[in-house]
Structure 1
């Protein structure tokens, strides 16, 4: 009996995009109709910030990865159609940001993402 292989999530592209500040590489990992829900001090769990589609997601990624700061992928775990990763960031003045994401995959692309982020104040 033959099995159909599903496209794998490209964790190497995730690392390159994050650590090399390449928004276009990161955007290539998202499905056309992807949605990101972001929870932080400004967007509480009952009213998360929602970013929909590659246009909005691309604009957000351009903003974040265009900033003068370092980004590092600390860990990434993929299991079936789900993945989770931790990203740590630092601004030149020492302010640090930590973001954790849980993602649902469809055909190897990110279809849904929930990101929880916190930063020094």
Structure 2
């Protein structure tokens, strides 16, 4: 099976988007019809926050990357049409956040993402 040019998930863009806090760069990795499920203390597994499409996902990314905090891509693994990554974050007041994401890919773009996040309280 051959792979079409441009169909590989771009982990360099993922790292740049996360660590440079650039919502537009991250958003470029999502398919138009992508779905993002967020599970955390506020949106638990039985009722996750679900965002549909690049517009809704982009609004969330704009909000997250407008905050006074740093982000680091800790690890990313890609295998076929699946990927997973860990992201650590730190607010300026020292509060830490850890997010784990599992991705489904199509033509190198994210079509489904489940993110589980936890933060200091």
Shorter-chain TM-score tier = over 0.9
* 5+ residue gaps, structure 2: none
Name the SS of the counterpart of 1:12 in structure 2: helix
Instruction: Show structure 1 runs of 4+ deviating over 6 A.
Output: none
Distance 2:96 2:53 in 1: 28
Give the Å deviation of 1:50. 0.2
TM-score, normalised to structure 2, is: 0.97
Name the structure 2 match of 1:92: 92
CA distance in 2, matches of 1:112, 1:102: 8
C-alpha separation in 1, matches of 2:54 and 2:45: 23
1:41 aligns to what? 41
Cα offset, 1:11, TM superposition = 0.1
Partner in structure 1 of residue 80 of structure 2: 80
**Shift of residue 45 of structure 1?**
0.3
Mapped pair 1:5 → 2:3: yes
1:56 alignment counterpart: 56
Distance 1:12 1:53 in 2: 22
Return the TM-score normalized by structure 1.
0.97
Partner Cα distance (1:75, 1:120) in 2:
21
* Deviation, structure 1 residue 4: 2.5
RMSD: 0.6
Alignment coverage as a number of residue pairs? 119
SS for the counterpart of 1:93 is: coil
Alpha-carbon shift at residue 113 of structure 1 (Å): 0.2
* 1:103 corresponds to: 103
Unaligned runs of 5+ in 1: none
